[in-house]
Amino acid sequence: MSEYRGPNSAEDARRLDTGAVLPETVDVNIRLLDPIPAPRTFLRELPPTDAMRDVVLALREAIRDVLAGRDDRLLVIVGPCSVHDPRAALEYAKRLLALRDELDDELLIVMRVYFEKPRTTIGWKGLINDPDLDGHADIRKGMWMARKILTDIVSAGLPTATEWLDPITPQYLCDLISWGAIGARNTESQVHRELASGLSMPVGFKNSTDGSVKAAVDSCYAASFGQHFLSINLDGRVISAQTTGNPYCHLVLRGSSSGPNYDAHSVADALASFRHAGFDTPVTGLIVDAAHGNSAKNEVREAEVVEEIADRLAGGERGILGVMMESFLLAGRQDPAPLDELVYGRSITDPCIAWPRTEALLRTLAAAVTSRRTAGSDR
């Protein structure tokens, strides 16, 4: 992992130590302020190539086409619950890339590459926050590692998806992301609605943890309009950002603490709420997250959910435009620990479906799309 060194901010730290004014009314509960280089520093050290830009832009447009009903492929966002091991993530990406090329006529496959994990209470908050899995929170190293992993995956030709948690993170990574999510805990957040309004890729808002779809609908509505808010630019300077709005925000049904919501009735109700919200959007359907509340965080049940959705798609159901799956090299999960103490290829957050089962499920979904096309042509 020595190649994931990241830029050096020693000079920034020296200036902070000698020049900061810290009166007794400020930073009372702060133990350390570690300067992080501005986004442009990371972009210069790990720049996107023209080929990488082509991958990102082409897939963003293809996803828009799926969401608008101009492309009848199924969007499939699949990958680990969270990335903690660069080597395992890249091995997974290579396997997925080979299958993506084979199933491209039926499925629009995007790799789930999540670096930030919202916690209900406390716990490992993702590779950006704690890249060494030891609680030292070397965010500078974690941010650099995240960008390095993304450049490696996208340079191979595979598009990526992630969840946007911290509103500053997109300035460091968004040029390499084709699809973004706002999680269930943040779907009512004004900050995240404003953020989504300016992001350059389609963004999915998940229903709240209590199952409410209205919050996600309201978020899509708000994000479709221009917003004004504080942010930073690529040079790390505080700015007043003004956005034009993101017309491709959409719903992601992920179940809730009360149970699943991927059944046909729940999908129809969610789409009705979305359509009756009263804003101009080209989006014609939604995405179902087969994990989380829709499978009670059980990877065996998650695979069964995917199969059930495939059966419905094969029968001609139209409202579901995409599926999310949590999948890794090995099934299940393990508790976080230093990397050399972990089982290679197994999740350290939510349980994931093993690769062999994932491969079979992707083929099942592709066959379902073919059947749906046949069912549509017979009408």
Residue 84 counted as domain residue: yes
Residue 111 counted as domain residue: yes
Q: Is the pLDDT of residue 379 over 60?
A: no
Residue 29 counted as domain residue: no
Say how many domains are in the chain. 1
Residue 3 counted as domain residue: no
CATH number, domain containing residue 345: 3.20.20.70
Residue 2 counted as domain residue: no
Q: pTM of this prediction?
A: 0.93
Residue 126 counted as domain residue: yes
Q: What is the 3-state secondary structure (H, E, C) of the chain?
A: CCCCCCCCCHHHHHHHHHHCCCCCCCCCCCCCCCCCCCHHHHHHHCCCCHHHHHHHHHHHHHHHHHHCCCCCCEEEEEECCCCCCHHHHHHHHHHHHHHHHHCCCCEEEEEECCCCCCCCCCCCCCCCCCCCCCCCCCHHHHHHHHHHHHHHHHHCCCCEEEECCCCCHHHHHHHHCCEEEECHHHCCCHHHHHHHHHCCCCEEEECCCCCCCHHHHHHHHHHCCCCEEEEECCCCCEEEEECCCCCCEEEEECCECCECCCCHHHHHHHHHHHHCCCCCCCCCCEEEECCHHHCCCCHHHHHHHHHHHHHHHHCCCCCEEEEEEEECCCCEECCCCCHHHCCCCCECCCCEECHHHHHHHHHHHHHHHHHHHHHHHCC
Q: Note the pLDDT tens digit of each residue in 289-338.
A: 999 999 999 999 999 999 999 999 999 999 999 999 999 999 999 999 99
Q: Note the pLDDT tens digit of each residue in 248-292.
A: 999 999 999 899 999 999 999 999 999 999 999 999 999 999 999
Residue 23 counted as domain residue: no
Q: Note the pLDDT tens digit of each residue in 13-59.
A: 566 555 555 566 777 787 888 889 999 999 999 999 999 999 999 99
| Mean pLDDT, residues 359-369 taken together | 98
Mean residue pLDDT across the chain: 93
Containing structural domain, residue 143: 39-377
